[in-house]
Amino acid sequence: GADIQNRIGQSFPDATHLIKVAVQTAIGKKNKLSIFGDDYDTPDGTCIRDYIHVEDLASAHIRALGYLDEGHESDIFNCGYGHGFSVREVIESVKKVSGADFTVEIAPRRPGDPALLIADNTKIKNALGWQPQYDDLSLICKTALEWEKKI
């Protein structure tokens, strides 16, 4: 619920994940945000990724621990929502939830970045009974923003 959403988040200090960097920029911890390539074969030219709310990710880990505790063999599961958002869509969402119009620049592509990366969550849903509860980009960005303000 709302209580736990304010107590968990990404605390890695030099993270490069888009949402974390975007909210850091929105609150002034960074001067600008770079979009690494805007010429991908996607609707707006920026990479599309499957972003997951931290609480859904945590619940997947808890279910995985239960799965192992039940005696199942270790396995690999994709955690995600099965659809994605572009870099530009994420930036606009962070700008909207933060109310900040921060500086965004276009930078060269990073080597190895695919245009599209979406999780197939069929296996984790079937094997672990995992059902995401927070599949909402605005909520993901707002939660990350509130976390970043506190650390």
Read off the pLDDT of residues 118-139 as tens digits, 9 standing for 90 and up: 999 999 999 999 999 999 999 9
Which residues have C-beta within 8 Å of that of residue 141, sequence separation ≥ 6?
19, 22, 23, 90, 93, 94, 97, 98
The model's pTM: 0.86
- pLDDT score recorded for residue 10: 47
- Buried b / exposed e over 121-150, threshold 16 CB at 10 Å, is beebeeebebebebbebebbbbbbbebbee
Dump pLDDT digits (tens) for 18-65.
999 999 999 999 999 999 999 999 999 999 999 999 999 999 999 999
Residue 73 clears pLDDT 80, i.e. is over it: yes
What's the CATH code of the domain at 63? 3.90.25.10
- pLDDT score recorded for residue 70: 96
Place 142 in a pLDDT band, splitting at 50, 70 and 90.
very high
What number is the average pLDDT over the span 110-122? 96
Residue 9 clears pLDDT 60, i.e. is over it: no
The number of distinct structural domains making up the chain is 1
Angle at 75 between CA 73 and CA 79, to 5 degrees: 140
Please state, rounded to an integer, the average pLDDT across all residues of the chain. Answer: 91
The domain in which residue 20 lies consists of 2-150
- pLDDT score recorded for residue 151: 80
- pLDDT score recorded for residue 16: 65
